[in-house]
Amino acid sequence: MSNIVDEVLAANKSYVQGFGKKGDLALPPARGFAILTCMDARLDPAKYAGLAEGDAHVIRNAGGRATDDAIRSLVISHKLLGTKEWFVIHHTNCGMELFSDEVIADLLEDDLATALFDGKKWSNPHHQGGHAAGHFIKWHTIKNQETSVEQDVRRIREHPLVPANVPIHGYVYDVKTGRLNEVKAATEAGKAAA
């Protein structure tokens, strides 16, 4: 059995002890912006972008992609909670570059257990109980980070529910240095209309 639940609850206990006045925070993000980024465990938007509780919305999924659901959150973020500026932040060495839709669907069809990666190819440790449902999912994999950031900024910019006055900035986070590097073509595409 894992101790994960115990560890999480112990950490939460000490968090509660230092919670202070955070119970008084307003619901809308105080600094008025939102970040769409990858779920990668090495990325901590609160740290890399200097956020405290109550500051900003952070929307995360595999790749930080502008999926329908990410756009749903961004639209709520602006329309109901007042954010005025958005960031799309992908990163170097993203796991989403390591497979294609066909690869993950084939792996899942063969077996649901965690696959192995040898640096080049994925394989299943055993072969039972898989399902073909993965062939019906668009996995939003990434071939090139700068391209994916630009695609996603463009998709958000052109969405009919996104107002033209919300600027969308595109960046790639470098997992080796922690630095945010701007994708100029993305930020250009995401510029707000005057």
Query: Of 34, 35, 36, 38, which one interacts with Zn ion (CB under 5 A)?
Result: 38
Q: Provide CB contacts within 8 A for 149, sequence distance 6+.
A: 88, 89, 90, 170, 171, 172, 183, 186
CB closer to Zn ion out of 33 and 173: 173
Single out the segment in contact with Zn ion by CB under 5 A; choices: 11-19, 33-41, 104-112, 119-127: 33-41
CB closer to Zn ion out of 37 and 77: 37
Alpha carbons 136 and 104: distance in angstroms, whole number: 11
Q: Coil, strand, or helix at residue 181? A: strand
Q: Provide CB contacts within 8 A for 9, sequence distance 6+.
A: none
**Burial of residue 36, with CB atoms counted within 10 A of its CB: 0-12 exposed, 13-18 middle, 19 or more buried:** buried
Alpha carbons 128 and 113: distance in angstroms, whole number: 9
Alpha carbons 88 and 148: distance in angstroms, whole number: 10
CB closer to Zn ion out of 86 and 173: 173
Query: Of 33, 34, 35, 40, which one interacts with Zn ion (CB under 5 A)?
Result: 40
Least distance in Å: CB of 178 to Zn ion? 15
Contacts with Zn ion, 92-131, as mask; x by CB under 5 A: --x-------------------------------------
CB closer to Zn ion out of 142 and 162: 142
Single out the segment in contact with Zn ion by CB under 5 A; choices: 3-11, 53-61, 86-94, 182-190: 86-94
Q: Catalog residues that contact Zn ion under the rule CB under 5 A.
A: 38, 40, 94
